[in-house]
Chain A
Amino acid sequence: DAGVTQSPTHLIKTRGQHVTLRCSPISGHKSVSWYQQVLGQGPQFIFQYYEKEERGRGNFPDRFSARQFPNYSSELNVNALLLGDSALYLCASSGTGWFSNQPQHFGDGTRLSIL
């Protein structure tokens, strides 16, 4: 079975531009989460969606937004890019139920570089 897939794998943008990152969860998974990982640190939680509704949000500015589609895939959008947004953006999917201890499974991320 395919794991979590993210596209693109690498992306270069300039300050002030907008970016859209995409994620396809593992088949049957209904929850998708997004994380940002800057160099040398652990991943930081950005958003979680379940059944197309936002269920959690980390400490990120409103420039970051996301949505989940009926097929459970998801997009992360970042507006007005800053140099500090350069990072590895990770998507994770989990579970068939909301109240579940099932683990999250991660894709290999999109590496975003801001010039």
Chain B
Amino acid sequence: DAKTTQPPSMDCAEGRAANLPCNHSTISGNEYVYWYRQIHSQGPQYIIHGLKNNETNEMASLIITEDRKSSTLILPHATLRDTAVYYCIVRLSNSGYALNFGKGTSLLVTP
């Protein structure tokens, strides 16, 4: 599976959009991009995933560049409850489905 690179930490003001970047320059054509987040003392929470088209759900939007070497998770109106560690993960759709979490980005939303 492709490796991902994320900034270790980011800040965002409450009510503003949080844009979390992820580089996955070695991604191959059949690898999906998944985003999870983990709030302290809880299990990881699935947010969104995509292959090559941009995706949106009730939690967030996922923008994948045309060459698929990077992506951005967008939380449109960040709240204090969005403070968490965010993981960008790339894995094969027909692999053993193991998720390689890496270290993620610690997002702090401030009042």
Which residues does A use to contact B, with CB under 8 Å? 4, 31, 33, 35, 41-45, 48, 55-56, 58, 90, 92, 94, 99-101, 103-109
Which residues does B use to contact A, with CB under 8 Å? 32, 34, 36, 41-46, 49, 51, 85, 87, 93-104
Cβ of B71 to closest chain A Cβ, rounded Å: 15
- Using Cβ atoms and an 8 Å threshold, which residues of chain B touch A58? 98
Q: CB distance A99 to B93 under 8 Å?
A: yes
Q: CB distance B97 to A42 under 8 Å?
A: no
Bound-state Cα–Cα, A42 to B8, Å:
12
Q: CB distance B97 to A90 under 8 Å?
A: no
Cβ of A33 to closest chain B Cβ, rounded Å: 7
Interface centre among B34, B94, B97, B100 (most CB of A within 10 A): B97
Given contacts A33-B97, A43-B101, A48-B96, contact A90 B44 (CB under 8 A): yes
Q: CB distance B34 to A103 under 8 Å?
A: yes
Bound-state Cα–Cα, A43 to B44, Å:
9
- Using Cβ atoms and an 8 Å threshold, which residues of chain B touch A43? 44, 99, 101
Q: CB distance A33 to B98 under 8 Å?
A: yes
- Using Cβ atoms and an 8 Å threshold, which residues of chain A touch B99? 33, 35, 43, 45, 92, 104
Q: CB distance B49 to A108 under 8 Å?
A: no
Interface centre among A41, A55, A56, A103 (most CB of B within 10 A): A103
* In the complex, residue of chain A having the shortest beta-carbon distance to the beta carbon of B48: A103
Cβ of B57 to closest chain A Cβ, rounded Å: 11
- Using Cβ atoms and an 8 Å threshold, which residues of chain A touch B36? 106
* In the complex, residue of chain A having the shortest beta-carbon distance to the beta carbon of B42: A108
Q: CB distance B49 to A101 under 8 Å?
A: yes
- The answer, among A35, A101, A106, for a CB contact under 8 Å with B45, is A106
